[in-house]
Amino acid sequence: MTDQGDHVVLKCSGTACGMRYPSPADDHRLHACPLCESPVSQVGDYHAPPLPVAPAIEHGQAQLVGVLDNIRSAQNVGTMMRSADGAALDHLYLGGLTAAADNPKVAKTALGSQLSVPSTSCKDTLHCVEQLRHDGFEIWAVEFTDRSTPLQTLQARPENLAFVVGNERAGVDPVILEQADRHLHLDMYGSKTTLNVGVTFGVVAYWLRTAVAVL
């Protein structure tokens, strides 16, 4: 994985193009525009950002885990792993047809987080959720229903919480929805009724980690 400090800014010399774009400093195509193949020149470089200082998170005995119920896209799974790493989730459970952490397509978007986030694959997401409940977790499903609560209105969460996101087309398994202790949704202010599941997962993970108190 490269970072900003490994990139330069290039400018195309073509009068009909003139594209300005970043390029890895060691890219062998540094001398030709990828659009029109005109010569390019280096006009700047990116500086590596300072190392981030991670805020202290008091985990204590509380656990926050994510359950991915039959996610079709391995790229979405990788995106969710990266968000899980950023929000310091304790574990991910990959249910049904959800791609495992060692899937090359997962690695493409996880950018290494598939190695830092503990994960377990399970063929039947319902059995996984039932085991989590047996282990003392409350189960929250992320789905717009007639009993769902807007995420931003939540002020507290249980000590041990598993939140479930569902299949991109079908949503969360109906039996899991029926058995869930609570349903959550994100309010939508535009013309669409849902967000990409990877985006939704990241929003929910960060909100539950940072914006609500642990009971």
SS3 assignment for the chain: CCCHHHEEEEEECCCCCCCEEEEECCCCCCCECCCCCCEEEEEEECCCCCCCCCCCCCCCCCEEEEEEECCCCHHHHHHHHHHHHHCCCCEEEEECCCCCCCCHHHHHHHCCHHHHCCEEEECCHHHHHHHHHHCCCEEEEECCCCCEEEHHHCCEECCEEEEEECECCCECCHHHHHHCCEEEECCCCCCCCCCCHHHHHHHHHHHHHHCCEEC
Judged by average pLDDT, the poorest of 41-45, 59-63, 85-89, 180-184 is 59-63
**Residue 141 vs residue 109, higher pLDDT:** 141
Q: Is residue 78 part of a domain?
A: yes
Same domain? For 110 and 173 the reply is: yes
Residue 5 has a pLDDT of 56
Instruction: Report the pLDDT averaged over residues 150-165.
Output: 94
**Do 99 and 183 have their domain in common?**
yes
Contact between 19 and 33 under an 8 Å Cβ cutoff? The reply is: yes
Domain-located, residue 142: yes
Q: What phi and psi, each to the nearest 5 degrees, are found at residue 107?
A: -60, -30
My answer on whether 41 and 67 are in the same domain is no
Is the CB of residue 39 less than 8 Å from the CB of residue 10? no
- Give percent of the chain above pLDDT 70: 93
**pLDDT at residue 131 is higher than 50:** yes
> What six digits make up the tokens of 158?
């249980």
Is 56 within a domain?
no
Supply φ then ψ for residue 153, to 5 degrees: -90, -10
51: in domain: no
Average pLDDT value over all residues in the chain: 89
pLDDT in tens, 2-61: 455 588 999 999 999 999 999 988 887 678 999 999 999 999 988 877 776 666 555 567
pLDDT computed for residue 53 by the predictor: 64
Structure tokens at 1: 């994985």
Cα(4)–Cα(58) distance, integer angstroms? 31
| Structural domain of 73 | 63-214
- Asked whether residue 58 is domain-assigned, the answer is no
Label residue 65 by pLDDT band (50, 70, 90): very high
User: Which pLDDT does position 165 carry in this prediction?
Assistant: 97
Cα–Cα–Cα angle for 32, 38, 40, rounded to 5 degrees:
55
189-210: pLDDT as tens digits: 988 878 899 999 999 999 999 8
Confidence class for position 114, pLDDT limits 50, 70, 90: confident
Total domains present in the chain: 2
| Per-residue model confidence (pLDDT) at position 26 | 83
